[in-house]
Amino acid sequence: MTVHPTPERLLELTAFVPFRLNRLATGVSEYLAAVYETRFGLDIPQWRVMATVGSQHECTAQYIAASTRMHKTRVSRAVAQLEARQLIERGSSTADRRERQVRLTKSGRRLYSELVPLALEREASLLACLSSEQLTGFLTGMETLERFLQLED
């Protein structure tokens, strides 16, 4: 019989990796939001759709949902909003009339080509706080975790 019969195990939330990861992801999102939100009036789902469609010639909502890992209803609504702003347009794909091919309009492409360099620059200025060894180490860890959780594409 010891002096401490039930030494209570503690959990310090601020040292708990899942919590810290959430907090970091939120912080990074906010750090980035200035670019697409205040400057171009896009929210996160819209920004992700723009980024996905812009890197393709055209694609389906399905594809967007899969590669952004957003729920298909969230994609559907973001696409509708972007279409209303005339940043993207949809054509019936001749092959399968259930799906609709999404592509950027002229002004969508203009916005995209303005936005992307700013976003990449912002990412770079964030990662610039890491030394090159730190960056490598961090990215390597991320990749392993992604593989473990099967988050890769």
Partner DNA sequence: CACAAATGGTTGCGCGCGCAACTGAATGGG
Partner DNA sequence: CCCATTCAGTTGCGCGCGCAACCATTTGTG
- Shortest reach from residue 67's CB to DNA, in Å: 12
Distance, in Å, from the CA atom of 92 to the CA atom of 58, rounded to the nearest integer, reads: 12
Only one of the segments 61-69, 109-117, 122-130, 145-153 lies at the binding site for DNA (rule: CB under 7 A); that segment is: 61-69
Site string for a second copy, 6-45 (x = CB under 8 A): x-xxxxxxx-xxxxxxxxxxxxxx-xx-------------
Site string for DNA, 91-130 (x = CB under 7 A): -----xxxxx------------------------------
- Shortest reach from residue 8's CB to DNA, in Å: 24
Where in 46-65 is the site for a second copy (CB under 8 A)?
48, 51-52, 54-55
The structure tokens listed for 148 are: 């473990």
Distance, in Å, from the CA atom of 134 to the CA atom of 3, rounded to the nearest integer, reads: 44
Q: What is the DSSP string of 53-95?
A: HHTSSSB-HHHHHHHHT--HHHHHHHHHHHHHTTSEEEEE-SS
Contact between residue 60 and residue 100 where contact means Cβ atoms under 8 Å apart: yes
Classify the phi-psi angles of 18: left when phi > 0, otherwise alpha if psi is within -120 to 50, otherwise beta. alpha
Binding site for a second copy (CB under 8 A): 6, 8-14, 16-29, 31-32, 48, 51-52, 54-55, 67-69, 113, 116-117, 119-120, 123, 126-127, 129-130, 133-142, 144-149, 151-153
